[in-house]
Amino acid sequence: MRENADPASRPLTVADALALPVLAAGQPQVVTGVDRLDRPVRWVHITELTDPASFLKGGELVLTTGMPLPEEPAGVRRYVDELADVGAAALVIELVRRYHRPPDALVDACRARGLPLVTLAADVNFLEVTQVVHALLLGNQTHAMRRTQRIHEAFTALTLRGAVPGDVVRAAAEMSGRTVVLENLVHQALICEPSGSTVDEALTGWEQRSRAVPSRDRTEVCGGEGWLVAPVEYQGERWGRAVMLPSPARTGPSGFGPEDVTVLERTAMALTIARLIHTTPWERTAHRSALRDLAEQRHRSPEDARARFAALGLPTEDCGFLAVLVDTRAQDDRAQSAEGLLSEELRTAGVPALVGVLAPGRLGILLALRPGQAWRAMVERLSRTALALAPEAVVSVGSEVADLSDAARSFREAGRVAAAALPGLPLPEGRSFHELSDIGLRRLLYALREDIRVQDYAERQLGRLVDHDTRHGTDLLTTLRHYLEAAGNKTTTARRGNLSRETVYQRLRTIERLLDCDLESGEQRTELHVALAALDVMRAR
C-alpha cells in the first residue's frame, strides 16, 4: 500500500474526470480554479435548474448547458455562491447552445469563490459522462472498502500476536508509505519509522515543531506543517500521540486521504493495547533501542543519530559524551533493576543521559557532558549504586569523546575494559569503576583468555613443567614464579620459597632442562613471565 502504487488508492479528482475521454472530447478549458483541480469528486450532477444547490451534498461535478443561468449579474453571483457554499467540486458549462464564451459575471463570481469553472467547446453527452464517472466512483468505493478491510485485518493480526510498539509503527509506515512517529506527552519522539525521508529530516527540531502542533481528541490534520495526529491513550488517559508526516510527493489540501486516517487510528488503537500487554515503559524501550543502535553503529548517518537522540531529549550539540557499562555478571533481572535506579539517580543529579539494557546482564549509559565537566564523581556514584544492588557487578568506562558519532568507540572501549576486569585485582584507592588505564598485562591476558593463540602460547611455554609437577608431586612452577617475580635474584627466590640456595639452584637447573631454556636470559624470563601470567588468568575464577 505504498505511495502511488495504485491509482485507485486515492479519490477521483476534478483533474481525473476532465482527463476521461468522454469529457476530453468536449475540449475542456479551465477558466478559474486551476489550482483546485485536485478536489475530490464524490458524484456527478446534471442540472438545468436555477437553484441546483438544494439537490447537492458537496463534492459534485456539476454539468450544465448554461440555459438556466440568470441574466443579471446578481443572480449569477447567487447561483455560484450557492454551489460554493454547498461544496460543489467544480462547475462545467457547455458553450454550444446558449453561450459561446462564458459570461464575465460567471467568471468573476467563480474566481471570487474559488470554484473551478470549466468550459466545453464541443457537444458532450452528459448522461455518458455520468455513467462513466459513477462507475469509476463505485469501483473506487469498493476498492477502498477492501483496502480498509485489509488495514483492519493487518492491525488485528499485529495485536493478536502481541506486537511491540516498534512493530506497530513500522507497519503503519509501510501501509501508508509515510513517516510515522510515536511521541510521549513531553514531545519526545520515542519511535520513528521513516518512509521517503531520513530520520534526520523527520526528527530535526522535533520538540519545537511538535509543540507547535495542537493536540486533539480525534484524528485530524493539525499545525502549520500539516501533520496527521491521533491521540494514544493508556488506562483511559492520554499518554502521547501517533504522528503521520505529510509527503511532499502527495497532492491535495492536506495530502492525507481516508486510508491514512484509518491507518493512524488503528495504529493508535494497537499502541494502546500494546501498552497494556508490554508493561516496560516505552521511554525505557526507546532508550534501549537507541543505545543499541549507537553502540553497534546501526544508524544510517551521524545526522540521523543526532536527530534521534535529540528527539529523545539528550543534548547533542556543544557537549562531550562518555559511555559507561554495568555488567551484573548474572542472567537475571538485576540489570533491569539497575536501569531504573541509575536513571532516577541521573535525573536527580540533573545529568543528561540515556540508560538502557544492551544485552542480558549488561546495562549501557551514555552521559552528555558540558565542555570541561568532571565526570568521575558522577560515575563513582553510579558505580556504588550498582554495586549495592549487585556486589559482583563490574562498572567500566570508555574514553570521553567530543561528538556523538564517536560514542560507539567509547562503548567499545568500555567493553574492552569490562572484559579485562580480572576478579580479585584491586582498584586504586577510592575508585570502584574500571577504566582504560587499569588494563595492564594481567588484565589484557584475562580479556584474551579464550583466544586459542594465548592458550597455545601458555601451554608451549609451561606445559612440560606443569606435567612434571603433576606426575612427580613437585612444585617447580611455584619456584619459577618466585624466581621471575624476583627478577632473577636467587637469594630473594630462596627466601620467598623458604628454601636453601642450593635447593633453588637445583630446581632452576631442572626447570631449564624441562623447558629447554636459559633462565639467565632476560628475554626468555620475559616470555616465561607472560606465559605464567596467562596461565594464572586462565585458572582464575
Q: What is the mean pLDDT of residues 421-444?
A: 81
424 vs 70, which has greater pLDDT?
70
Percentage above 90 pLDDT, the chain: 38
pLDDT class for 252, splitting at 50, 70, 90? very low
Closest CA to 146 of 38, 154, 14: 154
Query: Is the model's pLDDT at 2 over the cut of 50?
Result: no
Query: Is the model's pLDDT at 3 over the cut of 80?
Result: no
pLDDT at 151: 83
Q: Which of 95-104, 199-208, 353-362, 411-420 has the lowest mean pLDDT?
A: 95-104
pTM to 2 decimal places: 0.64
pLDDT at 425: 72
Q: What is the mean pLDDT of residues 527-540?
A: 85
pLDDT in tens, 454-472: 899 988 999 899 999 899 8
pLDDT at 331: 60
Q: What is the mean pLDDT of residues 428-434?
A: 86
Measured CA to CA, the distance from residue 421 to residue 434 in angstroms comes to 7
Q: Which of 123-137, 256-270, 380-394 has the lowest mean pLDDT?
A: 123-137
Q: What is the mean pLDDT of residues 281-289?
A: 90
Q: Residue 19: how many CA atoms within 13 Å on its side-chain side?
A: 7
Query: Is the model's pLDDT at 450 over the cut of 50?
Result: yes
Measured CA to CA, the distance from residue 272 to residue 281 in angstroms comes to 13
Q: Which of 44-58, 305-319, 475-489 has the lowest mean pLDDT?
A: 44-58
pLDDT at 7: 44
Q: What is the mean pLDDT of residues 339-344?
A: 90
Q: What does the mean pLDDT of the chain come to?
A: 86
332 vs 51, which has greater pLDDT?
51
Q: How buried is 496 (Cβ within 10 angstroms: 0-12 exposed, 13-18 middle, 19+ buried)?
A: middle
Measured CA to CA, the distance from residue 329 to residue 82 in angstroms comes to 77
pLDDT at 142: 52
Closest CA to 301 of 173, 194, 412, 398: 194
Measured CA to CA, the distance from residue 436 to residue 457 in angstroms comes to 25
Q: Which of 89-103, 135-149, 162-176, 477-491 has the lowest mean pLDDT?
A: 135-149
Measured CA to CA, the distance from residue 241 to residue 182 in angstroms comes to 6
81 vs 133, which has greater pLDDT?
81
Query: Is the model's pLDDT at 195 over the cut of 60?
Result: yes
Can you say whether the dihedral through the CA atoms of 290, 296, 299, 301 is positive or negative?
positive
Task: Name the phi and psi angles at 322, rounded to 5.
Answer: -140, 130
> In Å, how far are 325, 398, 434 from 295, measured between CA atoms?
11, 12, 19
pLDDT in tens, 205-246: 999 999 999 988 889 998 889 999 999 988 778 889 999 999
Query: Is the model's pLDDT at 251 over the cut of 50?
Result: no
Secondary structure class of 423 (helix, strand, coil): coil
pLDDT in tens, 86-136: 889 999 998 887 888 888 898 999 999 999 999 988 888 888 888 887 777
Residue 453 in grid coordinates: 593463540
